[in-house]
Amino acid sequence: MSPKIVDKEEKKQEILKAAMRVFAQNGVVQTKMTDIAEAARIGKGTIYEYFRSKEDIFAEAYRLIFLGTEEKIGAVLESPIQPEEKLRMLMAVTLESLLGDGGEFAGIMMAFWSEGMRNRNERIIKIIDLKKIYSDYRFMISGILEEGINRGQFRRVDTFMTASVIIGAMDGILLQYLMDPKLFAPEKAIEVLLDSFLRGIKT
């Protein structure tokens, strides 16, 4: 009888999914590699053939999720749709990437970042580079606002400051939702935010 051929990429994905479940259930700090191995139904030694640490596991999950998000955002920014709709779609894609699967990834990302800051874990801080994330979003939102201004659809505003305010408001919505998922639907809250904001800058 020939030995079973293991699809390493498929096994890697199974480990990542199992790890996300365990992180969500047990918390990042309390989770051990043996917990993830058990959830993935593999031996304790086998998991180290794929990942050296739980930080490695999170880094790979983070990379895969945001790789897909970057592709979707790129498609939105390059589409010929109106600036208002472009802004709405950018927010929708961002929300989908963070809150897919019940918002588990956003919560795990926050927990990892908090642990990295508390322990000054430079590796985690480098993985979740919030300064770059905020900078990228300011750039994208500012670009959409400039497009609307140039088309005569938005009144002239400080695009950098306006983008910063939008990001801050969205952060607040996400944080409230993570603290109490039953409080409101984040999609609806983002819709209210954008409706109020756009009424203020439309010409």
* Tens digits of residue pLDDT in 138-159: 999 999 999 999 999 999 999 9
The yes-or-no verdict on residue 2 having pLDDT over 50 is no
- Mean pLDDT over 110-134 rounds to 80
Average pLDDT, rounded, for the chain: 86
The yes-or-no verdict on residue 3 having pLDDT over 50 is no
For residues 201 and 72, what is the distance between their CA atoms, to the nearest angstrom? 26
1 domain residue, yes or no: no
Residue 7's Cβ-count burial label (10 Å; 0-12, 13-18, 19+) is: exposed
Q: In terms of domains, do 146 and 100 share one?
A: yes
Q: In terms of domains, do 63 and 159 share one?
A: yes
The number of distinct structural domains making up the chain is 2
134 domain residue, yes or no: yes
pLDDT of res. 101: 58
- Mean pLDDT over 77-88 rounds to 95
CATH number assigned to the domain comprising residue 67: 1.10.357.10
> pLDDT: is 65 or 9 the higher one?
9
Half-sphere exposure (Cβ direction) of 123: Cα atoms closer than 13 Å: 8
Range of the domain at 171: 55-201
DSSP 4: P
pLDDT of res. 197: 92
Q: In terms of domains, do 112 and 149 share one?
A: yes
∠ CA(166), CA(108), CA(87), 5° rounding?
A: 25
3 domain residue, yes or no: no
Helix H or strand E encompassing 34: helix 33-39
